[in-house]
Amino acid sequence: MLRKLVTSQQTGLVLVIVAAAVALILFAGSHVDPRSGAEFNNFLNSHTLVQTATDASFFAIMAVGATIVIIAGGIDLSVGSIYAVAGVLSALLLRHLNINGGSAVLLGLGASVGIGLLCGVANGVLVVGLRVHPFIVTLGTMWILRGIAFVASGAESVLVPSSLIAVAKASLGFGSALYPVPMFVMLVVAVAGSAFLNFTVTGRRVFAVGGNEEASRFSGVPIGTIKIVVFLISGVTAGLAAFLGASFYGSASCADATGYELYVIASAVVGGASLTGGKGSAVSGLLGALLIVLIRQSIRTLHFDQNYEWIIIGCAIVIAVVLDQASARFAARRLAAGNS
């Protein structure tokens, strides 16, 4: 049990995250609160920690869905565009109906998640029906959906009702300047994704399809259905993230989540998901997102040039893929040695 814990992917990620956090604590410096006169570490304080988790939450939620797609041997480049179109269309619906209060929250959530679900199903049906690689399909839908968001919004930000902002920015007893709702939703999504992968028949079939599609087909696994399901989940998580993002920031626009594809896929890959399929975990996807946010936070807190952010994250992806391939080759050699 101890050996399994020490060698697990999650343990390694947690140690790296802890090391990054310790480095930030040591080198971030401190400031004096003008109201209380107390001295606080620039990183190790409740506001920065909750804000860091909140920054991670929007694409970490999508990373859970994208990780499930990658485990099944696919890839989804359209998550950022699904986020944009779900946020814009649900905000336009609420503006058209001119409603507020609890009904607006429920309708906004239902519309955003529903639009994400439809986009995810469309991706899955196109991949299965056309028998085209998911990279090509989702590259196309990425531009189509972004274009729909642009046309529908007229390239303008669409304000959401105040009740949505009140929900997303509820303090939940943490203090007036702390907004932990996105963080808690992120944790719930990660737990739900982990439960789906580890404790359901469909989840185990996702690993089987990603590990060996032909063997799964001969075993009677409905390959097409599994592929549609994983893209559906990815769309739902993008729709949920869009609802939270629009509610938290008070508006939705066609430019929302531009470039999130990099962060989402990077979170999954850094979290240990294999791009060849059959390997990964929802919790590791979440941890990968937290690590990427810590990298971004380090650049800002330590006053490095922010133009290097993309370079560093790109290097992290390459390193993660190289380590994954090296680990796979090492495991294959051990297996071959054990059978000889």
Q: How far is CA 287 from CA 10, 196, 223, 267, 283, in A?
A: 8, 18, 29, 8, 6
Q: Cα angle vertex 235, ends 233, 239, to 5°?
A: 115
DSSP string across 106-159: HHHHHHHHHHHHHHHHHHHHHHHHHT--HHHHHHHHHHHHHHHHHHHHTTS-EE
Q: What is the percentage of the chain residues whose pLDDT exceeds 90?
A: 56
Residue 335 reports pLDDT greater than 70:
no
Instruction: Work out the number of other CB atoms within 10 angstroms of the CB of residue 262.
Output: 16
Choose from 95-99, 298-302, 327-331 the range with maximum mean pLDDT: 95-99
- Per-residue DSSP letter, 253: -
3-state SS class at 252: strand
CB 100 within 8 A of CB 161: yes
- Where do we find the tokens 């506001």? 47
The predicted model gives 144-171 an average pLDDT of 94
66 versus 17: the higher-pLDDT residue is 66
Residue 7 reports pLDDT greater than 60:
no
Q: Which amino acid is at 11?
A: T
Instruction: State if pTM tops 0.85.
Output: yes
Q: What is the percentage of the chain residues whose pLDDT exceeds 70?
A: 93
**H/E segment holding residue 199:** helix 181-199
Which of 102, 84, 74 is closest to 206 using CA atoms? Answer: 74
Residue 2 reports pLDDT greater than 70:
no
Angle of helix 282-301 relative to helix 46-71, nearest 10 degrees, comes to 140
pLDDT value at position 306? 74
Residue 295's pLDDT band, with cuts at 50, 70 and 90, is confident
Residue 4 reports pLDDT greater than 60:
no
pLDDT value at position 121? 97
The predicted model gives 298-310 an average pLDDT of 77
pLDDT value at position 293? 86
pLDDT value at position 1? 52
In tens, the pLDDT along 194-239 reads: 999 999 999 999 999 999 999 999 999 999 999 999 999 999 999 9
In tens, the pLDDT along 272-293 reads: 888 888 989 999 899 889 888 8
Cα radius of gyration (the chain): 21
Which of 231, 233, 227, 243 is closest to 83 using CA atoms? Answer: 243
In tens, the pLDDT along 22-70 reads: 888 888 778 777 777 778 887 888 788 888 888 889 989 999 999 999 9
- Min mean pLDDT across 31-45, 113-127, 249-263 is at 31-45
CB 289 within 8 A of CB 273: no
Give the mean pLDDT of the chain.
88
Separation CA 283–CA 82 (nearest Å): 22
Alpha carbon of residue 73 to chain centroid:
17
CB 253 within 8 A of CB 84: yes
pLDDT value at position 340? 59
- Min mean pLDDT across 106-110, 114-118, 149-153, 326-330 is at 326-330
67 versus 259: the higher-pLDDT residue is 67
One of 1.10.3470, 1.10.1740, 1.20.120, 1.10.10 is the CATH number of 46-322, namely 1.10.3470
The predicted model gives 294-300 an average pLDDT of 81
Separation CA 63–CA 79 (nearest Å): 9
